[in-house]
Structure 1
């Protein structure tokens, strides 16, 4: 018994047809609805008993084609919700090669670790970090944050096992940082949320006061987590200011750069994130603004000794040999929590080699410019109100009803999504419901933003 096709030529024909269907979807990504809810009838078809016998490749392809219209919509140029990358057709080539290789990239002597190390070297070079920087391609910034903060925690616990560790971050920082504190056993309450200034950046004076207060009360400050691209409004913390405090206080400086770290590529904004070169660790996502397909996050850690010593603990059945398949100079399991790992680095390597860093930088800069264009459009309309500074690629505004506007603006967002015309998200800024537009799509044009604004004006008028 084997799971190989019974008829390879027939399977090859079906596989080519599936590839064509996938490429058709991407080629038509600018057309049709942004998001389409899953019909109840399709949910019912999916809800079947556990298969006992298989179906043919042609039948399986038909089922795959049936579900393809019901993705979140982030490949469409008018998907503006949350922070989702659009991916790129070139990633399909890497996905096919990776599926055929079926490599476990937790370790051993094969091409997977070689490519992952190269991607990490490139990433460190882009961010201005030292050549000896180590890292991993992770599932995303959430896991990258856990990976990095474990190294920080272990460093301080080795020095003082009884220390009551506390860390600091801005009130706008992503919730994955708090989850990391919880998962690592430090405790969610050990993360101090420091107030932000009017630009939604962490307040440096308030941070210093919090550190001083905790030291006086017997706590051990161990880390500061800065943000490049706060998920609500795209704010960028003062990285040099944070780095100075961390150096003075001897704290671990970590940065959540999930999407915003890509701003290092921007001619107009890059100067604001040059201090990424000063971090002890950085977490970011290639699958957001870099346009790599999901999932492909990244963690970079400045000190390779601290990084390895936090994870390397191989049992006898994973011992290292100088030669053979158990050789190789890099095993990812020595640098992170996973032994079983997919070949995520292949997508990143293929993407960077296919397009080159200049093309990705152009996408980043264009999205930043588009956010400023949307800001100007909002400011030019009497019925619209800008709710936060536009520091990067996120613009938050509302249709200004003055009274009872929160429910109506939330309704506009849902109506836009269900219409299929556009898919922004909503958030709360100073107790006000905002229509939140994120721009991390290489297909978006200014005309797409005009369509959005015109639709908001029309829907808002109907609700007045």
Structure 2
């Protein structure tokens, strides 16, 4: 028989708590130094083969000292970050994060609650943050919402509610076979790819997605939209949802929200807004009127790791009709019974409003960040990013060697370098080489896109560290590198 007194129970806690405390302090100090000096660092570095080989090793059988593990992190991982904490990260619409937001994630991980069900503080913080999101978007207080990983999950959550709410078909119970004809969703050709993915996942298939053309400002054509709806109705199909985009990721274009809202009401369709990037631009007075129709949408998806600059990852779905939202997801198995008292009490389970049952305490970084800065500061920061994009657009238009490729909208500027005598194929190669060199030299990280068949440099700025001087530097470096490229 085992002697209980002589047996040592295993744990993953450190044997030396003070050594772990010291290591934690070192990590915080290193992060502070990293952020403080980030402007002087190269934005991106190629990953050496030795690092990739180290990160391809098999799982260790035995553990290491935590200090050794951290030293390996500092050598093999930390120097080769993506760069979106840097002031000149413009590649994709990815926010920079903030120090307090990062520390909030540390605290949330340390508390380690599953923020789905129960009577504990994280549930109430989550609820408060969702209410703040409603207030930011001027959604009704009785509407519902849920924090998710990002725009893709936010959009599919909303479209699931839209699908399940269609007519009297009881699609949740009976599936799409309950509908006697194909359900059809409408969006523009510039809509984010996650909308089509969502349509495929919820059973509509690509045949159920109508991609409507855009005008010269890359905004959805409403006359084409209405003609397509009428054609589908004439063929006995079931139009059910219009997706408007408040800021495309390609050019920042804003679909004509007022018109889309009116068309959706005319035909009795669900109006969903994909505002993953641009919904928060309604805090900028310049865009408030154009985005006001968001407040009347049936559902809205937007990201907080973009223009609230909180660390990855967190997005939000808002649903105007909370009853329809709950009916689309609610389920209570025997092992999740809720009580009026004790740990199993608390607010309505968040699982009743989405798919996930395992959810981290992602609300804390939003809660602490909004507490630190307040709504007005965020409005100023978003406006600042938009003015920086406009300034870059002005620099481009003032220089005959540069060409603006789309109207500047919100915080996205699309342009390219041009040289006399080069055809489109040569201009593509020129600008592609400029892009790669400016990244490889660690100067800045714009990205590329294709607009009207032409290769384009794209600057998407949701960066709380960017200054106007960074736009001056970017233009100087594009011109320098372009001049250095003699042959294509």
Same fold at TM > 0.5: yes
What is the Cα deviation at residue 31 of structure 1?
1.6
Q: Which residue of 1 is the match for residue 441 of structure 2?
A: 419
Q: Which residue of 1 is the match for residue 304 of structure 2?
A: 286
Q: Does the 8 Å CA contact 1:21/1:65 hold for their aligned counterparts?
A: no
Q: Does the 8 Å CA contact 2:246/2:274 hold for their aligned counterparts?
A: yes
The answer to whether structure 1 residue 441 and structure 2 residue 463 are counterparts is yes
What is the Cα deviation at residue 320 of structure 1?
1.4
**Aligned residue runs from structure 1 range 8-407, under 5 A:** 8-66=17-75, 67-156=77-166, 158-159=168-169, 161-162=178-179, 163-401=181-419, 402-403=422-423, 404-407=426-429
Query: What is the rounded CA distance, in whole Å, between the counterparts of 1:176 and 1:198 in structure 2?
Result: 23
| TM-score, length basis structure 2 | 0.93
What is the Cα deviation at residue 461 of structure 1?
1.7
Structure 1 runs not aligned, ≥5 long: none
Query: What is the rounded CA distance, in whole Å, between the counterparts of 2:205 and 2:121 in structure 1?
Result: 39
Deviations 1:398-454 (A, max 9, x none): 111341211221111111111101110000000000000111111111111111111
Query: What is the rounded CA distance, in whole Å, between the counterparts of 2:226 and 2:191 in structure 1?
Result: 17
Which piece of structure 1 moves more, 422-431 or 22-31?
Answer: 22-31
Query: What is the rounded CA distance, in whole Å, between the counterparts of 1:425 and 1:158 in structure 2?
Result: 46
What is the Cα deviation at residue 29 of structure 1?
1.9
What is the Cα deviation at residue 462 of structure 1?
2.2
Query: What is the rounded CA distance, in whole Å, between the counterparts of 1:158 and 1:176 in structure 2?
Result: 27
Query: What is the rounded CA distance, in whole Å, between the counterparts of 1:15 and 1:416 in structure 2?
Result: 36
Query: What is the rounded CA distance, in whole Å, between the counterparts of 1:23 and 1:183 in structure 2?
Result: 42
Query: What is the rounded CA distance, in whole Å, between the counterparts of 1:205 and 1:157 in structure 2?
Result: 25
What is the Cα deviation at residue 96 of structure 1?
1.7
Query: What is the rounded CA distance, in whole Å, between the counterparts of 1:347 and 1:157 in structure 2?
Result: 39
Q: Does the 8 Å CA contact 1:167/1:223 hold for their aligned counterparts?
A: yes
**Aligned with 1:99: secondary structure?**
helix
Query: What is the rounded CA distance, in whole Å, between the counterparts of 1:21 and 1:157 in structure 2?
Result: 56
Deviations 1:246-293 (A, max 9, x none): 111111111111110110110222221111101011001000111010
What is the Cα deviation at residue 169 of structure 1?
0.4
Q: Does the 8 Å CA contact 2:242/2:264 hold for their aligned counterparts?
A: yes
**Aligned with 1:33: secondary structure?**
coil
What is the Cα deviation at residue 200 of structure 1?
0.6
**Aligned with 1:30: secondary structure?**
helix
What is the Cα deviation at residue 39 of structure 1?
1.4
Query: What is the rounded CA distance, in whole Å, between the counterparts of 1:189 and 1:429 in structure 2?
Result: 25
**Aligned with 1:156: secondary structure?**
coil
| Change in CA separation of 1:110 and 1:158 when aligned onto 2, cut-off 3 Å | farther
Q: Does the 8 Å CA contact 1:426/1:434 hold for their aligned counterparts?
A: yes
Query: What is the rounded CA distance, in whole Å, between the counterparts of 1:158 and 1:291 in structure 2?
Result: 41
Query: What is the rounded CA distance, in whole Å, between the counterparts of 1:185 and 1:235 in structure 2?
Result: 28
**Aligned with 1:255: secondary structure?**
strand
Query: What is the rounded CA distance, in whole Å, between the counterparts of 1:69 and 1:238 in structure 2?
Result: 43
Query: What is the rounded CA distance, in whole Å, between the counterparts of 2:482 and 2:475 in structure 1?
Result: 10
Q: Does the 8 Å CA contact 2:117/2:347 hold for their aligned counterparts?
A: no
Moved segments of 4+, more than 4 Å? none
Query: What is the rounded CA distance, in whole Å, between the counterparts of 2:52 and 2:239 in structure 1?
Result: 50
What is the Cα deviation at residue 78 of structure 1?
0.8
Query: What is the rounded CA distance, in whole Å, between the counterparts of 1:239 and 1:166 in structure 2?
Result: 19
Pair member with larger Rg: 2
Across the two proteins, how many residue pairs are aligned to each other? 464
**Aligned residue runs from structure 1 range 446-461, under 5 A:** 446-461=468-483
Q: Does the 8 Å CA contact 1:121/1:133 hold for their aligned counterparts?
A: no
